[in-house]
């Protein structure tokens, strides 16, 4: 309510006569005691032993009793039998109508709904009957390792920087798995591989390979070609073709998960697999962070580099989950009970089953990507938190719970709410808004995870087939090794891909300019290539010609085409910007004031600043510019001028039109039309302030293009 208005709720602080109270003091004491003691636990279930020692609400009205439980006060045996019988009734009904459903899923769902009570197809109560499950009983047949176990690694307890949980199921992916594990297994990480319960042949292959790794040195006895055998499926003791020197077996860093699940997309089994795997890793050894992977996540950084970023003080004690609210989709996923089929190939919702209500009125539900980075503290919390495991019991029968359980459990806990970084540190691309799975990556995607960042945006790229040959995967892997994996150990080598993100590489790229203090920047996409060719031709009127042009490529194809022809090109599609779209630029001409051109113009100040910081003054020319005479000397001759922009309606631009020092602002009414297609920026503090002001206005108004932003800067003296 606004100040001065009447309150629409009870003001409990208002002084009133004692006789006006709603309840007498004796009743208040009884209600308070009842609220504290109305929960009760029972055991001895036959149909539903998972409910043993669960806590129920004694104040709930139970229709078969025609009274609240407290009013009727049945015996423990009577209550347990009532829940068991209703669970049997639900189970018989489901199995009678849906013969292909997994019996274990049916049993768990029937017991949970009988305990909940207030579900339409059961209608046992009007309100939620179940208050808390007892995790050790409820998940006894799901999590053998809910309680901590002894490490299976002999000797002193080991300590690693990173722990990985790999979830695999395809035998055809075995060779790829070996490549990935060999890359991750550098002594800094412990790796646990979960093999789908249905993939016994794959499990045996991986088991044999791990044993081979532990008993075989990488020093070959068989000659120079022995290295090739390490990547050969036949080069193992199992097939009798091992030409490597045997060694005394030592337990390595790679393990097979002891507890295996039959995973179904969209099913709770994926959450079971992750939690059991995280807990098994926690029992095996000490580590600082755990990262879950599939067989087709490819690293962009070494383990030590990943650990160095995560261990920064600003990230201390925090976890990484990219999450968001999506009420409509979550309602579809949460309120329609789902079960797996007997063959463990699909999950489905029987329409006749009706809905289940959200039982946590004070909680908000969230969606998140499956891929996370968690800490041992977080894993331990999920292992012992009654609230988190109570949520898991509800999500046993929801759709795609692996993309909602972790964020929902943690964000609703006060001790974790402010310790979640909304980022997954993994690049993945979905082609289309309705795509269920990410697309395969290839050579043309390399610009989407940029090299040379001081703090990498991504640790992994997904999905990448290192053995593929359809999307230029071999070229991409070589590029990743140079520009990502080995970049920290190769401090002097630079590539053109690193120039936009590594200042030293940008300086090396620009060092070839015939004018040591300045460069010309021209934005270009595929449609503009003929125009920029015309501009290069007209630059014959400028001393040095086109040799000092830096093309700002707006799409990957243009960048590749220009560099193939020997031209200097910078491509920064993935440059971080809060107001810019992640979509690739259009191949067509970008129209003035179009939304797409406006989004791209928000990158312009950042690009100009990068080149200024590298030690060069910047001329910015649009691709449709035609140069009639050498314009640079006039700007150099005015040392007090920091920024020059085109103004007015003149079609030919010169310094005599629109020459504006940063130190002198214009009244808003006197600012003529701005033409940012031709601009000059001199290195200096005042130019930095000018660019700061441009970016500030663009951030405040995402629809503002660079012309309007420049006009606002020129109109406000305080801004410059």
Ordered by start, the domain boundaries in the chain are 35-138, 156-311+425-492, 317-368+380-413, 496-719
Is the Cβ–Cβ distance between 350 and 94 less than 8 Å? Answer: yes
Structure tokens at 444: 């043309």
The 10s digit of each residue's pLDDT in 387-440 is 999 999 999 999 999 999 999 999 999 999 999 999 999 988 877 666 677 888
Instruction: Work out the end-to-end distance of the chain between its first and last CA atoms, rounded to an integer number of angstroms.
Output: 42
Bridge-based pairing of strands 244-246 and 216-220 is antiparallel
**pLDDT digit string, tens, across residues 337-372:** 888 988 888 888 877 777 777 888 889 999 999 999
CA-CA-CA-CA torsion sign (537, 541, 546, 547) = positive
Q: Which is more confident, 91 or 539?
A: 91
State the Cα–Cα distance between residues 371 and 265, nearest whole angstrom: 15
> 3-state DSSP call for residue 701?
coil
Q: Note the pLDDT of residue 126.
A: 85
* Cα–Cα distance measured from residue 162 to residue 179, given in angstroms and rounded to the nearest whole number: 18
Mean pLDDT score of the chain, rounded to an integer? 81
Binned at pLDDT 50, 70 and 90, residue 526 comes out as: confident
Instruction: Report how far apart, in Å, the C-alpha atoms of 410 and of each of 270, 319, 357, 687 are.
Output: 18, 10, 21, 45
Token pair listed for 176: 């790829």
Confidence class for position 130, pLDDT limits 50, 70, 90 = very high
pLDDT at 699: 86
Phi-psi category of residue 307: left, alpha or beta, with phi > 0 → left and psi -120 to 50 → alpha: alpha
Separation between Cα atoms, residue 299 and residue 488, nearest integer Å: 14
Q: What is the pLDDT of residues 199-217, one digit of tens each?
A: 999 999 999 999 988 886 5
CB atoms within 10 A of CB 430: 11
Lowest mean pLDDT of 47-51, 537-541, 549-553, 628-632, name the range. Answer: 628-632
Three-class DSSP category at 458: coil
Query: How far is the CA of 676 from the CAs of 118, 207, 540, 706, in angstroms?
Result: 65, 64, 23, 7
Specify the range with the lowest mean pLDDT, choosing from 230-239, 264-273, 329-338, 677-686.
Answer: 230-239
CB atoms within 10 A of CB 5: 7
Check whether 307 has a pLDDT greater than 80: yes
pLDDT at residue 231, rounded to an integer: 47
Phi, psi torsion values for 182, nearest 5 degrees: -60, -35
Q: Which residue has the higher pLDDT, 605 or 286?
A: 286
Using DSSP bridges, classify how beta strands 549-553 and 518-524 pair: parallel, antiparallel or unpaired: parallel
pLDDT at residue number 332: 78
**Residue 495 pLDDT level (bands cut at 50, 70, 90):** low
| Residues 51 and 137 sit within 8 Å (Cβ to Cβ) | yes
Per residue in 583-617, pLDDT tens?
344 444 444 556 777 777 788 888 888 888 888 88
Picking from 416, 425, 317, the residue whose alpha carbon sits closest to that of residue 375 is: 317
> CATH fold of 496-719, please?
Spore Coat Polysaccharide Biosynthesis Protein SpsA; Chain A (3.90.550)
More confident: 203 or 495 = 203
- B/e letters for 103-132, b = 16+ CB within 10 Å, e = fewer, are eebbbbbbbbbbbbbbbebbebbeebbbbb
**Helices 76-97 and 103-116 sit at what angle, rounded to 10 degrees?**
140
Q: Choose the most confident range, by mean pLDDT, from 116-125, 174-183, 484-493, 522-531.
A: 174-183
Lowest mean pLDDT among 189-193, 471-475, 715-719: 715-719
Confidence of residue 258 (pLDDT cuts 50, 70, 90): very high
Nearest to 256 by CA among 331, 326, 203: 203
Q: Which residue has tokens 């940012």? A: 676
Query: Is residue 271 scored above 90 in pLDDT?
Result: yes
Range with the poorest average pLDDT among 99-108, 321-330, 576-585, 614-623: 576-585
Residue 29: pLDDT above 60? yes
Lowest mean pLDDT, pick from 14-18, 443-447, 478-482: 14-18
In this structure, what token pair is assigned to residue 445?
């995607």
Angle between helices 269-284 and 376-384 in degrees, nearest 10: 120
Which residues, at least 6 apart from 360, have a Cβ–Cβ distance to it below 8 Å? 391, 394, 412
Higher pLDDT, 653 or 72: 72
Pick the closest to residue 466 from 458, 476, 451 (CA basis).
Answer: 476
What was the pLDDT predicted at 2? Answer: 38
Tell me the sheet residues that pair with 520: 549, 619
351 vs 650, residue with greater confidence: 351
How far apart are alpha carbons 499 and 510 in whole angstroms?
9
Could you tell me the pLDDT band of residue 670, with boundaries at 50, 70 and 90? low
Do the strands 159-168 and 189-195 form a parallel or antiparallel pair, or are they unpaired?
Answer: parallel
Distance in angstroms (rounded) separating the CA atoms of residues 195 and 263: 9
User: Residues of the chain with pLDDT > 90: what percent?
Assistant: 38
Q: What is the layout of strands, in order, in the sheet containing 674-681? A: 569-571, 549-553, 518-524, 617-621, 674-681, 643-647
Supply the pLDDT for residue 234: 45
Q: What is the mean pLDDT of residues 166-175?
A: 92
Query: Can you give the pLDDT at residue 634?
Result: 64
pLDDT at 637: 63
Q: Per-residue pLDDT for 270 more than 70?
A: yes
DSSP string, 615-672: T-EEEEE-TT----S--HHHHHT-TT--EEEEESS-SS--TTSS---TTS---GGG--
Residue 15 has pLDDT above 70, yes or no: no
Q: Which DSSP helix (H) or strand (E) runs through 195?
A: strand 189-195
Which of the pair, 244 or 140, is modelled with greater confidence? 140
pLDDT greater than 90 at residue 445 = no
pLDDT at 579: 34
Whether the Cβ atoms of residue 298 and residue 316 lie closer than 8 Å to each other: no
DSSP state of 498: G
163's tokens = 């722990």
Residue scoring higher pLDDT (166 or 716): 166
Percent of the chain with pLDDT over 70: 80
Poorest-confidence range of 74-83, 116-125, 289-298? 116-125
Counting runs of H as helices and runs of E as strands, what totals does the chain give?
A: 23, 27
Structure tokens at 462: 């997904």
Place of tokens 């022809």: 565
> Residue 587: its pLDDT value, please?
43
């Amino acid at each position: 309510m606004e100040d001065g208005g009447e309150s629409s709720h009870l003001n409990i602080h208002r002084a009133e006569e004692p006789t006006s109270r709603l309840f007498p003091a004796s009743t208040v004491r009884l209600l308070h005691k009842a609220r504290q003691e109305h929960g009760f636990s029972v055991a001895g279930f036959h149909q539903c032993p998972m409910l043993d020692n669960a806590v129920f609400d004694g104040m709930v009205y139970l229709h078969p009793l025609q009274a609240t439980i407290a009013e009727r006060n049945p015996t423990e045996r009577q209550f347990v039998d009532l829940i068991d019988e209703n669970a049997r009734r639900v189970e018989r009904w489901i199995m009678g109508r849906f013969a292909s459903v997994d019996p274990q899923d049916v049993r768990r769902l029937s017991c949970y709904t009988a305990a909940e009570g207030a579900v339409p197809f059961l209608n046992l109560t009007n309100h939620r009957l179940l208050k808390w499950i007892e995790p050790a009983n409820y998940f006894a047949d799901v999590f053998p390792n809910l309680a901590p176990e002894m490490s299976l690694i002999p000797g002193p307890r080991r300590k690693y920087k990173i722990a990985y949980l790999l979830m695999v199921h395809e035998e055809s992916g075995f060779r790829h798995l070996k490549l990935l594990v060999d890359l991750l297994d550098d002594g800094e990480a412990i790796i646990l591989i979960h093999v789908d319960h249905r993939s016994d042949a794959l499990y045996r292959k991986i088991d044999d390979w791990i044993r081979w790794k532990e008993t075989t040195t990488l020093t070959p006895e068989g000659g120079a070609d022995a290295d090739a055998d390490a990547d050969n499926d036949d080069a193992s003791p199992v097939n009798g073709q091992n030409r490597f020197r045997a060694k005394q077996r030592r337990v390595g860093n790679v393990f097979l998960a002891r507890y295996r699940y039959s995973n179904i997309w969209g099913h709770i089994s994926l959450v079971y697999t992750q939690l059991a795997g995280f807990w098994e890793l926690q029992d095996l050894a000490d580590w600082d962070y755990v990262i879950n992977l599939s067989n087709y996540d490819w690293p962009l950084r070494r383990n030590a580099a990943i650990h160095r970023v995560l261990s920064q003080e600003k990230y201390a004690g925090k976890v990484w989950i990219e999450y968001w609210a999506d009420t409509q989709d979550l309602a579809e996923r949460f309120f329609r009970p789902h079960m797996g089929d007997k063959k463990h190939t699909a999950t489905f919702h029987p329409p006749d089953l009706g809905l289940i209500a959200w039982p946590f009125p004070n909680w908000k539900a969230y969606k998140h990507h499956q891929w996370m980075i968690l800490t041992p503290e977080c894993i331990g919390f999920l292992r012992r938190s009654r609230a988190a495991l109570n949520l898991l019991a509800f999500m046993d029968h929801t759709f795609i719970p692996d993309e909602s359980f972790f964020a929902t459990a943690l964000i609703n806990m006060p001790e974790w709410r402010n310790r979640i970084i909304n980022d997954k540190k993994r690049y993945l691309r979905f082609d289309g808004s309705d795509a269920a799975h990410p697309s395969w990556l290839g050579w043309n995607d390399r610009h989407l995870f940029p090299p040379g960042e001081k703090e990498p945006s991504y640790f992994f790229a997904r999905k990448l087939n290192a053995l593929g040959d359809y999307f230029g995967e071999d070229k991409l892997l070589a590029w990743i090794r140079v520009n990502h994996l080995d970049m920290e150990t190769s401090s002097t080598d630079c590539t053109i891909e690193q120039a936009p993100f590594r200042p030293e590489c940008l300086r090396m790229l620009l060092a070839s300019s015939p004018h040591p203090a300045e460069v010309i920047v021209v934005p270009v996409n595929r449609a503009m290539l003929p125009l920029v060719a015309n501009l290069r031709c007209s630059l014959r009127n400028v001393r040095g010609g086109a040799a000092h042009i830096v093309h700002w490529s707006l799409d990957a194809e243009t960048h590749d085409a220009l560099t193939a022809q020997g031209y200097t090109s910078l491509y920064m599609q993935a440059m971080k910007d809060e107001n810019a779209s992640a979509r690739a630029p259009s191949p067509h001409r970008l129209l003035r004031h179009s939304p797409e051109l406006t989004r791209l113009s928000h990158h312009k100040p950042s690009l100009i600043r990068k080149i200024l910081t590298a030690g060069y003054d910047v001329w910015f020319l649009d691709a449709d510019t035609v140069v009639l005479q050498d314009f640079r000397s006039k700007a150099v001759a005015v040392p007090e001028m920091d920024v020059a922009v085109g103004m007015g309606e003149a079609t030919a631009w010169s310094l005599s039109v629109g020459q504006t020092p940063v130190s002198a602002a214009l009244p808003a009414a006197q600012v003529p039309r701005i033409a940012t297609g031709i601009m000059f920026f001199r290195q200096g503090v005042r130019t930095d302030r000018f660019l700061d002001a441009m970016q500030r206005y663009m951030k405040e108004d995402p629809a503002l293009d660079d012309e309007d932003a420049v006009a606002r800067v020129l109109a406000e003296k305080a801004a410059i």
